[in-house]
Amino acid sequence: MKALVVFFCLSLAMRYSTCVPKQRRTFPEDFIFGVSTASYQIEGAWNLDGKGENIWDYLTHNHVEAIADLSNGDIAADSYHNYLRDVEMLRELGVNAYRFSLSWSRILPTGFANYINKAAIDYYNNLINELLKYNIKPVVTLYHWDLPQKLQELGGFGNPLIADWFEDYARVAFQYFGDRVKFWITINEPKEICLDGYGSTAKAPMLNESGIGEYICAKNLIIAHAKAYHAYSNDFKATQGGVCGITFSVSSAQPLTSSEEDAIALEIHNQGEWAIYSDPIYSKEGGFPKEFSERIALKSLQQGYPRSRLPAYTEEEKDFVRGTSDFFGVNHYSGSLVSAVTSNNFVVPSFNDDVGVSYYTPEEWPRSVSSWLTQMPNSLNITLTRLRDRYDNPEIYITENGWSTYQGLNDDTRVNYMRAAWESALDALDAGINLKGYMAWSLMDNFEWREGYSERFGLYEVDFEDPARTRTPRKSAFVYKQLISTREVDHDYDPDYQSIMTINDS
């Protein structure tokens, strides 16, 4: 009954919109629309049914002060018990894809493949089967930041053996789910894993091995990805018929001025922010970006190190990694202007000192409630154009794009941001960029890492005070449904909240 009520409400809001788009541009019929989530952020059930501890369990339980509102993901949106409702929400929106991640420590409680947790296999099988019942494509991420704590204690992505451990885990996932899952993402956002988790304290495991840890992680992580890709390509793809790739966070950036110095600063920024992870896979040369590598090598010698802090790929490793992705996954949110002029007040050694640029965001750019998230004009198209030019127009999926607000259903700032992003995506399609899909972040409010529940990214609001974790669609949910249904961006469409029935448990 609840699903029918919500579906009726969403349909009703669309039916009574009489405005005609000012410009008729449509997304292709085969363009994929979806939404994204991540296991630790929504599942809860942190220690139920045999699940092992992961690095976010460990951090939130042992360093509660690290989280802005002193919260944790022990229950979160409780999707472990509410996955049927989650699928109802996907049906209400009308999406044809759902990107979610598997919990490594739920499937392999010790991190190793010697013991597979049947309860976890059952949970993900039930979710996958429910999605397929309604023709919703499962887009499955193997790793979204929640490493088993036991593996972290052995060095995590600082240990080169992580590549073997990750391949073992990936093979389990392919074996148990690959007959139905045809779209795999190995790793979500290498930069945030390595720079934030190993080179600073922004994310778990908060190692803060500045200027060294992030680079060791970068190489080990990409080799781990390549091992998982080869495992799928060699042993599963022929019978299962899916695709396998990786997702990067790629913010937009433009030079602050037209000077040659700022143009160089922009290139170094791009190499350090994302190409350090994507060049080994997508560039013809392979390995880390040339100019950024040379800069770190020189700085390392000047700082007294006997060798570069950035470990180089061997020729054999370059060959092993190059080409290991069937598509380019893009998580895009924000942007900035880049300048070569800096205050030079950077920690030494550090990634920021190695890049050596400064960033500006004009006051007129809209700002979210997240300190890092601003709305740069046409930023998505700028980003996609840059990837097209650098990597010879690869097949691209936008695997995350979203905006943060506080609580409340009338989220006009999110609506404005999303419409601008959709227009930017249409600009990219008009320019011949090989863009195949768009997935909004996020289906519902979740545990937003170190910000806890103080920032909300959901198309659906979650009542975290309610034991049932009630989900209610925001205005943005109706607007996204309207886009998916018509495949056009209608800036005049405005759902009337007076006519939307209240969702209840009847």
Radius of gyration of the chain (CA): 22
**Residue that the structure tokens 């609506």 belong to:** 415
Q: Under a CB-based contact definition with an 8 Å cutoff, are residues 188 and 141 in contact?
A: yes
Q: Give the pair of three-digit tokens for residue 320.
A: 């092993």
Largest CA distance in the chain: 70
Residue 442's closest CA among 30, 141, 66, 46? 141
Q: Say how far apart CA 279 and CA 270 lie, in whole Å.
A: 11
Q: Under a CB-based contact definition with an 8 Å cutoff, are residues 82 and 444 in contact?
A: no
Q: Say how far apart CA 86 and CA 138 lie, in whole Å.
A: 13
Q: Say how far apart CA 112 and CA 49 lie, in whole Å.
A: 17
Residue 91's closest CA among 471, 490, 506? 471
Do strands 435-441 and 32-36 pair parallel, antiparallel, or not at all (unpaired)? Answer: parallel
* Alpha carbon 171 to its chain's center: 22
State which H helix or E strand residue 202 sits in.
none
State which H helix or E strand residue 457 sits in.
none
Q: Say how far apart CA 319 and CA 315 lie, in whole Å.
A: 6
Q: Say how far apart CA 177 and CA 127 lie, in whole Å.
A: 11
Q: Which residues are catalytic?
A: 189, 400
CA separation, residue 385 to residues 253, 319, 344 (Å): 12, 26, 31
Quote the Cα angle for 388-392-396, to 5°.
50
3-class secondary structure for 423-435?
A: HHHHHHHHCCCCE
Residue 359's closest CA among 370, 371, 369? 371
Q: Say how far apart CA 95 and CA 444 lie, in whole Å.
A: 14
- Which positions ≥6 away from 173 have C-beta within 8 Å? 102, 107, 140, 142, 184
What torsion, rounded to 10 degrees, do the Cα atoms 482, 483, 489, 492 define?
Answer: 10
Q: Say how far apart CA 445 and CA 463 lie, in whole Å.
A: 9
Burial class (CB in 10 A: 0-12, 13-18, 19+), 81: middle
Q: Give the pair of three-digit tokens for residue 352.
A: 């920021």
